[in-house]
Amino acid sequence: MAKPILDIVTKPYIIPFYQRNYNWGIDEITQLLQDIYESYHKDKKQDYFLGSLIVFKRQAASIYEVIDGQQRLTTLHIILSLLWKEINRIYPLAYDSRPEVVSFFTNLRNQQIDFEATVQEISEANLNNFLKAIDTVLNTKLESDIDSTLAIHNLIENDEIHSFIDYLLHKVILVEVVMPEDTDVASYFEIMNNRGKQLEEHEIIKAQLMAKIKNAKQRHLFGKVWDACSEMNRPVQKFFTPDERLFLFGEDYDAIFPKRITQLDYQTDKEVASSILDIIKNPNQKLRSDALVEHEDELDDDVTYTSIIDFSNFLIQVLKLVYPQVDIPLSSDQLLKIFKDIPNNVLETVTPLEFVQKLLFFRVVFDRFVVKSNAGLENNDLLDEEDNGARWTLKKPVMRWQNRQKYAKYYRTLKFVNSFKETKDNLSYQDRIVKLLSMLQVTYRQRKNKNYLQYILSLFNPSNPSSLNISAVEYLQKVEDFALQQFEKLDILDLLSNDRESIFIHQNVYFKGTDTPHFIFNFIDYLLWVDQVWNEVDYGILPNFDFTYRNSVEHHFPQAQQDLLITTDLDKNIILHCLGNLCLISKGANSKLNDRSAWDKATDPRYSNGILTPKRKIMYSISQEDKWNTAQIVKHYYEIVKILAERNEILKFNC
């Protein structure tokens, strides 16, 4: 049952002895608060679903034992204890075997400690790590997709904290699942613990869809395909046997026939994939089918990578494609609510088996046409300019006959090759496509609200599996069209005048400084790379540069030295903050460079010898040859304006 947080924290719960210790840190607490705040900022009347809370009612007392969700529940209790003046309304969390934690909550309530309390004042609670984390989060500005920031002390200063707490209590929702009285709770928890992760919203949706399937064979096939699609860091073909691959993906393994799912071989003595409700009724069952194993042949290619999204995000993308008549936001933190809000008459237009067929089709599209990070490279700032390793991969599966020497037989094996083979004048379309896709990915790095991914998936039709046979040229043109549309949406063309006589004097210039959208820098770098590699214009940039998660706008002429800018009738503020003086670098590089002069940056081999972004490389080259000041900044600005003005010509090529 869906319940607001107020109903949850004013109800008696107990953390049983078999639960692990609280282990959330800054990252988890930050994400929780930031997601809630973004939802609050967007629409204070809109419910926000935080996930599930699995509980069991103890018969001896009117108290609920927490089976799954204690990390969220504990965090919410302490946050409200620190921030909510009506703390006496909160029912204290109880613990079976941790008297020091019970003492902590009692002390917290009795002392009426607010967010400004020092960690030392409550150090006896034996939760120092958590207190340090919560103190950091509550007093730190958090990045937000809505161009706003959250710091609790800011909310208090702006007299907004009461509104925020009211939203947290009444509009933030947890789905409480009360397990049946005859459930073997310890066995159930052991199963959940062995799985290594908590129940997620997509698993609840899976259970709801499976509940509509009455045929045992179809339930098994639904579960098998759903579970295979949910493993986002491995190609989906890895979770099917060689015979199943041949049947579903064709002779060469690179097609897809989703309607064949219901015709797959099925042995009645195999275990049927179980839903969440099945497990609640029978905790000795497994949640996932035994079929979800990698059918790894010793001659198969081993492919590992880091997906740009998780399964919840992917499921949102598919829901939006399958139900176009419903306005579905691409935000996985509302997955369960979004699914719940789809009208029944719309849901019924697609049966669960039809849905999982479409799910498999779009998962094949995702595997083949969406760039991934190479294994071990996460979506963070650790990849700096000095790291010159290959970062992105785009592969498709193929079937190859391989000889197994010890049996003197040939076997069908699964191999992975570049998704595109075509070339133009010995230039690989694959390279240009990977560069384009990675440019979009590092720009729209958040896992939610990936409109570019929705656009790519929409290029393919599950009713027409042959749409996978798109050529490299057609695919490249369509995705570059999307990038061009994103640039035009910025509505800055009128400011990008090339009138060298009067542009800076009349201030008809684009100078947003650190507020410049990151897309502009990445788009400029992509145009410069294409112009040099494909159109043979020599900018002196390194063609093997890669897009990484650079997310800090750097003033090449430092702001701290603004007084050293040489100008006559030009506005120093415009010169300093215009595109000609800016580049995109990583936060790590920005902190290293600090307020060093442009010449120092450009001549220090620690920063100039790496594979820099094209724009930054050009700026460094100019700085090494000539003093970087107003004249050089204005000249480079015009160079960039010219590149942007010629964007269509640069991206055009003869097929």
User: Terminus-to-terminus CA distance in the chain, angstroms?
Assistant: 58
User: In Å, what is the CA distance from 416 to each residue of 299, 366, 378, 535?
Assistant: 12, 15, 22, 30
Please choose, from the candidates 301, 302, 305, the residue with its C-alpha nearest in 3D space to the C-alpha of residue 373: 305
What is the average per-residue pLDDT within 60-68? 80
Q: What are phi and psi of 410, to 5 degrees?
A: -100, 140
Q: Which residues of 351-372 are buried (b: 16+ CB within 10 A; e: fewer)?
A: ebbbbbbbbbbbbbbbbbbbbb
Share of the chain above pLDDT 90, in %: 32
> C-alpha 440: how far from its chain's center?
13
Q: Is the pTM of this model over 0.75?
A: no
Tokens 């760039």 identify what position? 371
Residue 365 has pLDDT above 90, yes or no: yes
User: In Å, what is the CA distance from 62 to each residue of 12, 14, 311?
Assistant: 8, 11, 37
Higher pLDDT, 532 or 59: 532
Q: What is the pLDDT of residues 90-147, one digit of tens each?
A: 887 887 766 666 666 666 666 544 444 433 333 333 355 566 666 665 665 554 444 4
What pLDDT sits at residue 209?
A: 87
Residue 301 has pLDDT above 60, yes or no: yes
Residue 481 has pLDDT above 90, yes or no: yes
Residue 220 has pLDDT above 60, yes or no: yes
Residue 296 has pLDDT above 60, yes or no: no
Q: What is the pLDDT of residues 509-553, one digit of tens each?
A: 888 898 999 999 999 999 999 999 999 999 988 888 899 988 889
Q: What is the pLDDT of residues 308-327, one digit of tens each?
A: 999 999 999 999 999 999 99
